Amino acid sequence: MRTDGDGLAAAPAIPKILLVDDVQLFLEIEKGFLESSPVRILTAHNGEEALEVIRRELPSLVVMDINMPRLDGITCCSMIKTDPALASIPVIMVTNAGRADDVRQSWRAGCDDFLEKPVNGRVFLEKTHRFLQVIERRKRRVAFDREVILQMAGQEVGALAVDLSYNGVYVATVLDLPADAELMLSFCLLDAASPRIIARGRVAWLNVGSGRRKQNYPPGVGIEFREVIGEGLAMVRMNELRDFVDLHRETG
């Protein structure tokens, strides 16, 4: 155990994770995945900036997009892995779905694992936890009683939300929605006059039938947000969502 100058036990250092992407919305989504974890989150918007942060902060883990200006992720990863002072830092590359060449180049650059966009929250937490065990794989949620409009295959139906997190919403519904189904959903955080949160989503898990995972919940589905769009500026709607969850988690 580390001690300070007076011989007292020093508090353990908070692990640092660096998220690298030139698109701020993707950084916000990944930060949201980590909201339950006791980590210090660092961010960078290109490979050059990432190298500066890595050399200064020596993070415990790097999650880095491939396609970025100034210095791309694959070149940056190769520079990390060929630097003896940095080579032991795990690097997870974020590739575009279906781009097999991205995966091959990432492995050749020395990456330790990879994720595909759009990033699945559960997979993100599982893979980052592999390298940094303090990362919490269960996401905090708050009670949320609002109507949600679901749109799939050109049809719109209303359903009732039960709880909400940065990354998704649980919806009570009798609709037969298959796992991994893609859909659009929209809802208001406050009242009907407030701008609507609009998101592309995916049915992440089912809670139906006699073998429901959460018996205390009504039958329904857990929906993971793939991309928050919202009325007006998407980033404003994303920040409103995060603020709402934070406020109700602290006071609920």
Domain boundaries, the chain: 16-131, 142-251
Cross-strand partners of 223: 169, 203
Cα 62 from chain centroid (whole Å): 14
Rounded Cα distance between 206 and 151, Å, is 17
Please give the share of the chain, as a percent, with pLDDT higher than 70.
90
Q: Do domains 16-131 and 142-251 have the same CATH topology?
A: no
Looking at residues 127-156, what average pLDDT do you find? 86
Cross-strand partners of 221: 171, 206
* Model confidence at 20: pLDDT above 90: yes
Protein fold of 142-251 = Thrombin, subunit H (2.40.10)
In this structure, of 117-126, 137-146, 220-229, the range with the lowest mean pLDDT score is 137-146
**Which CATH code, of 3.40.50.2300, 3.30.70.60, 3.10.20.30, 3.40.50.300, is assigned to 16-131?**
3.40.50.2300
In this structure, of 9-18, 49-58, 152-161, the range with the lowest mean pLDDT score is 9-18
Q: 165 falls in which pLDDT band (50, 70, 90)?
A: confident
Rounded Cα distance between 40 and 38, Å, is 7
